[in-house]
Structures are given as structure tokens and as C-alpha cells.
Chain A
Amino acid sequence: MMKIEAIIREERLGHVKRALEEKGFVAMTVTRVLGRGEQKGIRLQYRGGSIEVDMLPKLKIEMFVRDEDVETVMRTVCDSARTGRFGDGRIFVMPVTISGKVRTGEVEGKLP
């Protein structure tokens, strides 16, 4: 099982949710975050100088998916979150060893 963390533009959430849902991936957790990428935010030019808007609001989507679904989910998120401009975000995938369902107490994976 893998955890997918995607940092995306706030305004793309509707597209991403819809695209994932069409492929059968519904469960997700969304958090409002602030961040900056390699371009260090946005620099706005004025006649008198410039101001740096460093930390831009983004959304972080967290999903837990089976190993064989990772590629589909990654592609779907990329395609639906993309605007083609700087600041579109990043996706991270990391292994999850154990997960449990609160309602049932059911555990997936081997407890140590």
C-alpha cells in the first residue's frame, strides 16, 4: 500500500476530485497549506520596486492506494491539476506498512 501526497493549486481541486472519481478513487483527505517551490513564489513588479509573495496558498491531497493503482492515480492527478504554469505543484509517493479502519478495527499489513 502507498500513500500519495499531492500539492496542487487550490482552484484545481474540483477538477482533480472529478477526474479521480471517474476512475473510482473517492477517498481522500485535503488540507490547506502554504508553500513555495523552486521559483520561490511570485514576484510582483511595481514602478517603485517589487514585492515578493513568498508563501502561496495550496492544497495538499493525501490518499492511500494499492501499489498497482499508484501510476493511474499519479497520472490522473497530474493531468487534472495541470495549468502548465509555474506553481502547479508536486506529487510524492511513499510506502505505508500498516493501516487500520477506525470503525471496524480492521488492520491491513503486519503488526510488529
Chain B
Amino acid sequence: MAIDTGDTAWIMISAALVMLMTPGVGLFYGGLVRSKSVISMISLSILAISLASIQWVLIGYSISFGHDMMGLIGGLDFIFMRNVGMNEAPLAESVPHLAYMMFQLVFAAVTLAILTSAVAERIKLSSFIVLSILWTTLVYDPLAHWVWAGGWLASLGALDFAGGTVVHISSGFSALAIALVIGKRVGFDSYVLEPHNIPMAMIGAALLWFGWFGFNAGSALTAGGLAASAFVVTNTSAAAGALAWLLGSWLRGKPSALGMVSGAIAGLVAITPAAGYVDAMSALLIGAFAGLICYSALLFRVSIGLDESLDAWAVHGVGGLWGALATGIFANPAVNTYTGLIYGNTGQFTAQVVAVLASVAYAFVISYVLARLVDATIGLRVTEDEEYVGLDIAVHGEKAYA
């Protein structure tokens, strides 16, 4: 197939849209922490783009999308951008290989940024850099290979349109593991660690919603009907998630603004794996359930006193898990030939269950081991005094507000 200018334009625009999600995560998380750590929080996201970008062009793209080796990992054919040029991409023949590589790069970046939830307000910058490079190489890249590049989960028939398992389950359950290793913020049990700027968090969430159109509709890899369908279901699910969480928080007291945008993100997360396989009415259900399920996960997380600070686990991990299963339930053959449980295909649902279990277990275990390793060698955490002063001054020597 020849390179198509429309497809190419759409993929590059989508990559740019997805890039904006990473600072979006930074602003979302930045608004949720205390004012003494907001620079640190946004910086971790920008650092995530920088680290993932370099790792990806050096080795990440190759071990994710290089030739399959026993279903487990990609080969070194694309190392240092060898053989990645202006010709057709192997997995998307109507766009240049470089454009496809770049589109995949921004996914790796935003995934790493989501993970910073677990270490908010207490991680050493040097340790974050080391942990990030290890994590993206040993957790993200293999998972991307398993699901998108002919790995064993793809062979099994598991569907993941835009990253429910690769991006959301992996970052969410890894965040849970890392949070267990790094421990709670000082004072987590004894006083309220209130978000310092909810409008900032809402701007971040809005940027995520905006960028997500590139994330999901871009994953069609062509500028056509499937992209349009993914665009519509993405927006529908986000809106349903926002309203469901809003309603949930209203029933428990007040209709929370932060709850509403968290619900939108939950809806976006859940529709991600399903975006190319379901219709708009299913998206409405997927999003609404995502809002309620993720909100319940958050309440549960708080009730057991776990400081997975900014809820990557509750929103991305649990939302991604629900979305991956929902793909196996709602896949509609009229959208993209695949058939889910409600159309009588139990096989698809089984494949989704296997993919979920495998990605949860892999992400959790490897992340736990990596975090322990970094903690035992260079230490994950800043000193108590540095944490008290806040990472903005203690780490960066800068203040957010005069």
C-alpha cells in the first residue's frame, strides 16, 4: 500500500494531540497536590516526556515493535532508529514509519506520566529518572509488544484498541505497587492533604479529554470511518463518566467538580481499549459504569488508608481493567468485525480476561521488584525535612507562588 497523505496528516496531528495529554496529566496532578509541590508534580510529567522520548528512539521502539521473538519481546532491528524511515510503517502501511514511531512514542510518554501519581510529593528526582528508564523498558515495552506487535496476547486474540492494558492497566497497577514500596506521605493519616488548586486540575483534565481524541481516534491509524467511530464513542464515554461520578458524589454529599472531571477521565480510560470495536450506545454504558466503578475504587483506596496519592490505580488501573473486559462484552461486529459477549461470543471475553490477568500480574510484580531495587540502592524517597519543606524548594529551588 502507498503512503496516504490524509492518513499521514491524521497520525501526525493525533501524535501532537496525545503529546498534550502529558502536560495535561502534569496540570491535573499539579492541582491535586499541595502548593509546595506543584512545580515538582508538573516537572515529573515533562520529565516523563523527555525520558520516554529518548528511551524510545534509542531502544524502546525496537523492543516494542521490532520483529517478534517468541511472543515476548521485539528484536533489535529498529535500535537507534535503524530501518525506521520515510517509507511505509510495517504495522500501518499508509503512513510513514517515522510518523507511526512518533505516534507510539507519545503513548509511552503519557503512560510514564500517569505513573507519577504513586510518588507525588516524596520521590527523589534521581530515583525517578532511574525508575522511569527501568520501568518503561521492562514493563511498558514488553506489554506494548504483547498486545500490539504480534506478541502472545495478540496471538491469543485479545483486543486493545488504544491501550487499555498497555497504558492504563500497566500504569495503574504499577502505581499501586510503587506506592506500597515508597510509603505514605508524612501526615497522610493524621491531617487532610487538600488539593491546592482545583481549577488547575480541571484544566489538566480538559487537556486530557482533548488529547484523548488523538489517542483513540488516532489509533484507527487511518483517517476514515473507524477513526470517526472511535472519536464519537470516546466523547460519549467521557461525558457519561463525568455525569456518573458527579451523580455519585452528589448522592454522598455535594456534586464535586473534581469528581466530575475524574469521572470524565475514568470514562476515557474505560473506552480506550474498546474505542474501535463498540458503538455509541455501548460507550454510554461503558463510561457510566466506569465513573461509578472508579469512584468506588477511590473510596475503597481511601478507606484502607493507602496513599496511592493521585489515584492512578483507581482511575487508570481499575478503569482500564473494566474497559478491557467491556471490550469483550460489547464488541459489535457492525463496527469492526469483532464480536463480544452480548452477541454470543464467549471466546472474545475469555481472551480479554486472560489479557487483563496477565497485564495486571506482570505490571504489578515487575514494578514492585523495580521499586524495591531502586529503594535498596539509591533510595526512592527524599528526607523528611525535604518533604516537609516541599519538593519545589527542596528539589528545584523554585517556588510556584510568591
Contacts and interface: CB of A to CB of B under 8 A. Distances in A.
Nearest to B388: A42
B397 A51 contact: yes
Given A51-B397, A53-B394, A44 B191 contact: no
A15 B389 contact: no
Contacts of B187: 11
A42 B389 contact: yes
A3 interface: no
A1 interface: no
A56 B386 CA distance: 12
A44 B386 contact: yes
Contacts of A44: 383, 385-386, 389, 394
Interface residues of B, number: 13
A14 B389 contact: no
B82 to A, nearest CB: 38
A56 B389 CA distance: 8
B192 interface: yes
A56 B385 CA distance: 12
Contacts of B36: 57
Interface residues of A, number: 10
B191 A53 contact: no
A12 interface: yes
Interface in A12-71: 12, 14-15, 42, 44, 51, 53, 56-57
Contact of B191 (A15, A51, A56): A15
B393 interface: yes
Contacts of A14: 191-192
B389 A53 contact: yes
A100 B357 CA distance: 68
Given A44-B386, A51-B393, A56-B389, 7 more contacts: A12-B191, A44-B385, A44-B389, A44-B394, A51-B394, A53-B389, A57-B36
Interface of B: 36, 187, 190-192, 383, 385-386, 388-389, 393-394, 397
11 contacts: A11-B187, A15-B190, A15-B191, A42-B385, A42-B389, A44-B383, A44-B386, A44-B389, A51-B393, A51-B397, A53-B394
